[in-house]
Amino acid sequence: MNVMWVRACGRVVLGWLVSGLWLASSAWGWVLAINEGVSYQHQPAEVAARYSEVAADLSRLLGQAVTVEVVSDYAALRKGLAERRFGLALVHPAHVSLRDAGIRPQDVKLTYTRFQDAVPFFIDSGLTQAGATASAKVIKAWTDQGGRVLTTSRPVPIKHVIASPALSAQQQTLVREYLLKLDTSPEGRQRLASIRYSGFEPYDENALLALAVWLKK
Of 113, 13, 29, the residue nearest 69 (C-alpha)? 29
pTM for this model (two decimals): 0.73
Q: Are residues 87 and 107 in the same domain?
A: no
- How confident is the model at residue 72, as a pLDDT? 84
Q: Are residues 73 and 170 in the same domain?
A: yes
Q: Are residues 114 and 24 in the same domain?
A: no
CA distances from 5 to 2, 55, 80 (A): 10, 20, 24
Q: Are residues 167 and 67 in the same domain?
A: yes
Q: Are residues 177 and 84 in the same domain?
A: yes
Q: Are residues 135 and 55 in the same domain?
A: no
- How confident is the model at residue 41, as a pLDDT? 64
Burial 12-49 (b: 16+ CB within 10 A, else e): bbbbbbbbeebbebbeeebbbbbbbbbbeebeeeebbe
- How confident is the model at residue 39, as a pLDDT? 57
Q: Are residues 19 and 108 in the same domain?
A: no
Q: Are residues 164 and 80 in the same domain?
A: yes
Rounded Cα–Cα distance for residues 203 and 188 (Å): 21
Could you say which residues of the chain have pLDDT below 50? 1-4, 8-26
- How confident is the model at residue 25, as a pLDDT? 45
